[in-house]
């Protein structure tokens, strides 16, 4: 078939239905350029594999985007996955999500626990409950994948506790969570492969310095996001040192490893919200130009590959912690301050102070609210008692009035009889 076709091309020239050669070349070049760009922007596949049966994994951000793929892949491999969700496990969305994940993976060891990362008290409630367990609960991995981002042009928003929301969700909540869970990590047996996998973003490179807090007009969503990621990286590295410095009672070395992962830019709900600025017009533009986001951004599945590599690659446990992984390989941090101990010390101290201050304020607020509630309850009780007494007095008075009436009537009758 190709030989007669080529012969006909040679002797008779191009048939009328066939594009001219230069046009064919143009199509072929465009197709190759798109294929190559797509191949390059999709990134590498995770080469590591591992049986996760019996391993207990806590994961934040497991309900959306890259974290959702990671949670699915962990559950599929048999891990016991505890999704730390913003809403309580009884929330109908969470119930359905967990049931769906169980059904799709055939793994019934998938649970949800409420940890609202925008609320220090919620983080403390979960983490203290976890460490209060005796004997210490098994814990193989903590995956920190949750993050938030104010769309471009958006205003600075504070949580109910008064902390800027990007700083709170992306950094401070993780700092608080790992701080409280530290004894649970250190209590794991020496030979357990414990990993703390932290999702970061290359935007940290353009972040303002950490000793340059964003104030007033300086604050932009991009700078806030980048700075929160830089802080997370500085803390992750310092946390590894904190774990390494721990002297185990059995005198064996600490094996827990912190791994930073840059998943690369992906078409996740978070990115979509950011690109569309959370508006319907933005969504329309996004849909019209969807081809470009498809071409240049990774799918959530491809973006999760480096995360899965950090969770499953055997070399992680054998090599020093605090490494940064991108495209399933080690890369250097692009900023010196990520490894600066002085910067880390200041960040650690200021975060501790902020948490202490906010928690004290909130504890006082809660105590005041509790007192108010108690006072309202007592007032309501007293009012009910007064009402009861009033109605009792009313009833007695009514009874007496009736009795007097009867007596009066009797007296009247007797007087009438006497008169007769
Ligand atoms: N997507 C990218 O292009 C990209 C690039 C570089 C790095 N990363 C990093 O990769 C990670 C995942 O990104 P993504 O785009 O997949 O995220 P995403 O789709 O925006 O999902 C964010 C997740 O965080 C959770 N979350 C947000 N606020 C929370 C709160 N207050 N309490 C508890 N959970 C909360 C969300 O829970 P709900 O489902 O309840 O909202 C959701 O599960 C992030 O750390 C991000 O910084 C992403």
CB contact at 8 A, 145 and 83 = no
The helix (run of H) or strand (run of E) holding residue 402 is helix 341-419
- Shared domain for 162 and 233, answered yes or no, is yes
Residue where a domain stops, chosen among 359, 378, 408:
359
Determine the pLDDT at residue 420. 61
Residues labelled as active-site residues: 229
- Shared domain for 184 and 307, answered yes or no, is yes
365 lies in a domain?
A: no
- Any bridge partners for residue 76, and if so which? none
Quick one: average pLDDT of 135-162? 94
| CATH code for the domain in which residue 75 is found | 3.40.50.720
108 lies in a domain?
A: yes
For the stretch 104-142, pLDDT in tens is 999 999 999 999 999 999 999 999 999 998 888 999 999
Q: How far is the centre of ligand 1, averaged over its atoms, from the C-alpha of 147 (Å)?
A: 4
Domain count, the chain: 2
**How many Å apart are CA 348 and CA 231, to the nearest integer?**
10
**How many Å apart are CA 59 and CA 198, to the nearest integer?**
10
Burial pattern 397-417, b for ≥16 Cβ within 10 A else e, equals: eeeeeeeeeeeeeeeeeeeee
Residues sharing a CB contact under 8 Å with residue 128, sequence separation 6 or more, in sequence order:
180
- Shared domain for 124 and 21, answered yes or no, is no
Probe target for ligand 1 pocket from 157, 263, 286, with the most ligand atoms within 8 Å of CB = 263
CA distance to 13, 21, 42, 66, 287, per residue, from 283 (Å): 49, 40, 23, 21, 6
CA 198 to mean position of chain CA atoms: 11
Quick one: average pLDDT of 274-294? 93
* Burial of 356: CB neighbours in 10 Å, binned 0-12, 13-18, 19+: exposed
Residue where a domain stops, chosen among 318, 339, 359:
359
- Shared domain for 37 and 70, answered yes or no, is no
Residue 266 Cβ contacting ligand 1 at under 6 Å: yes
Full residue range of the structural domain in which residue 145 is found = 56-263+298-359
**How many Å apart are CA 263 and CA 202, to the nearest integer?**
9
Residue where a domain stops, chosen among 342, 359, 376:
359
Residue 396 in 3-state DSSP?
Answer: helix
pLDDT beyond 70 at 168: yes
Determine the pLDDT at residue 23. 80
Determine the pLDDT at residue 305. 98
Quick one: average pLDDT of 12-23? 79
Residue 65 Cβ contacting ligand 1 at under 6 Å: yes
- Shared domain for 185 and 97, answered yes or no, is yes
268 lies in a domain?
A: no
Q: How far is the centre of ligand 1, averaged over its atoms, from the C-alpha of 335 (Å)?
A: 24
- Shared domain for 21 and 66, answered yes or no, is no
Which is it for the CA torsion 300, 154, 197, 68, positive or negative?
Answer: negative
Residue 255 Cβ contacting ligand 1 at under 6 Å: no
- Shared domain for 116 and 184, answered yes or no, is yes
Quick one: average pLDDT of 362-389? 93
Q: Is the pTM of this model over 0.85?
A: yes
- Name the token pair of 66: 């890259």
338 lies in a domain?
A: yes
Residue 169 Cβ contacting ligand 1 at under 6 Å: yes
Determine the pLDDT at residue 8. 86
At residue 96, φ and ψ (nearest 5 deg) are: -65, -40
Determine the pLDDT at residue 419. 64
Residue 313's nearest CA partner among 141, 144, 177 is 141
323 lies in a domain?
A: yes
319 lies in a domain?
A: yes
- Shared domain for 19 and 119, answered yes or no, is no
Q: How far is the centre of ligand 1, averaged over its atoms, from the C-alpha of 206 (Å)?
A: 20
- Shared domain for 32 and 98, answered yes or no, is no
**How many Å apart are CA 149 and CA 64, to the nearest integer?**
14
Residue 263 Cβ contacting ligand 1 at under 6 Å: yes
Work out the mean pLDDT of the chain and round it to a whole number: 93
Cis peptide before 39 (omega within 30 of 0): no
Residue 101's nearest CA partner among 71, 140, 58 is 71
At residue 64, φ and ψ (nearest 5 deg) are: -155, 150
Residue 28 DSSP symbol: H
- Shared domain for 64 and 29, answered yes or no, is no
Residue 252 in 3-state DSSP?
Answer: coil
- Shared domain for 62 and 35, answered yes or no, is no
Q: How far is the centre of ligand 1, averaged over its atoms, from the C-alpha of 208 (Å)?
A: 22
CB contact at 8 A, 59 and 145 = yes
For the stretch 223-276, pLDDT in tens is 999 999 999 999 999 999 999 999 999 889 888 999 999 999 999 999 999 999
The region, left, alpha or beta by phi > 0 then psi within -120 to 50, assigned to residue 386 is: alpha
For the stretch 328-372, pLDDT in tens is 999 999 999 999 999 999 999 999 999 999 999 999 999 999 999
Residue 226 Cβ contacting ligand 1 at under 6 Å: no
275 lies in a domain?
A: no
Greatest alpha-carbon pair distance for the chain in Å reads: 151
158 lies in a domain?
A: yes
Higher pLDDT, 271 or 214: 271
| Helix ranges restricted to H, 187-289 | 221-244, 269-276, 280-288
Residues sharing a CB contact under 8 Å with residue 34, sequence separation 6 or more, in sequence order:
295
- Shared domain for 105 and 238, answered yes or no, is yes
């Amino acid at each position: 078939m190709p030989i007669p076709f080529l012969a006909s091309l040679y002797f008779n020239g191009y048939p009328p239905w066939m594009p001219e050669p230069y046009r064919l070349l143009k199509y072929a070049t465009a197709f190759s350029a798109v294929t190559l760009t797509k191949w390059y922007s999709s990134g590498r596949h995770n080469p590591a594999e591992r049986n996760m049966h019996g391993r207990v994994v806590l994961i934040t951000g497991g309900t959306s985007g890259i974290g959702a793929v990671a949670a699915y892949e962990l559950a599929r491999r048999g891990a016991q996955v505890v999704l730390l969700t913003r809403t309580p496990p009884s929330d109908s969305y969470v119930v359905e999500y967990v049931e769906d994940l169980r059904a799709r993976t055939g793994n019934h060891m998938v649970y949800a626990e409420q940890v609202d990362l925008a609320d220090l008290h919620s983080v403390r409630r979960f983490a203290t409950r976890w460490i209060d367990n005796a004997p210490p609960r098994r814990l193989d991995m903590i995956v920190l994948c949750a993050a938030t981002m104010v769309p471009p042009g958006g205003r600075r928003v504070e949580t109910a506790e008064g902390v800027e929301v990007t700083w709170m969700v992306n950094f401070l909540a993780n700092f608080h969570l790992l701080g409280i869970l530290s004894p649970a990590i250190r209590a794991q047996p020496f030979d357990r492969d414990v990993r703390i996998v932290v999702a970061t973003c290359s935007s940290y490179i353009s972040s303002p310095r950490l000793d340059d807090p964003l104030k007033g007009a300086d604050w932009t969503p991009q700078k806030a996001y980048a700075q929160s990621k830089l802080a997370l990286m500085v803390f992750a590295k310092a946390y590894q040192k904190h774990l390494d410095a721990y002297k185990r009672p059995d005198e064996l070395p600490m094996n827990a490893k912190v791994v930073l992962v840059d998943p690369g830019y992906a078409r996740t709900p978070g990115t979509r919200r950011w690109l569309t600025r959370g508006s319907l017009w933005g969504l329309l533009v996004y849909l019209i130009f969807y081809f470009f986001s498809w071409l240049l951004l990774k799918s959530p599945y491809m973006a999760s590959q480096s995360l899965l590599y950090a969770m499953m690659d055997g070399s992680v446990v054998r090599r020093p912690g605090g490494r940064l992984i991108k495209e399933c390989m080690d890369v250097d941090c692009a900023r010196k301050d990520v490894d600066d101990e002085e910067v880390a010390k200041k960040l650690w101290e200021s975060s501790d102070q902020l948490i202490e201050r906010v928690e004290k304020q909130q504890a006082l607020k809660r105590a005041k609210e509790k007192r108010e509630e108690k006072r309202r309850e007592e007032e309501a009780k007293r009012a009910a008692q007064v009402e009861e007494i009033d109605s009792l007095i009313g009833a007695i008075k009514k009874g007496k009035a009736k009795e007097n009436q009867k007596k009066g009537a009797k007296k009247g009758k007797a007087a009438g009889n006497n008169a007769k």
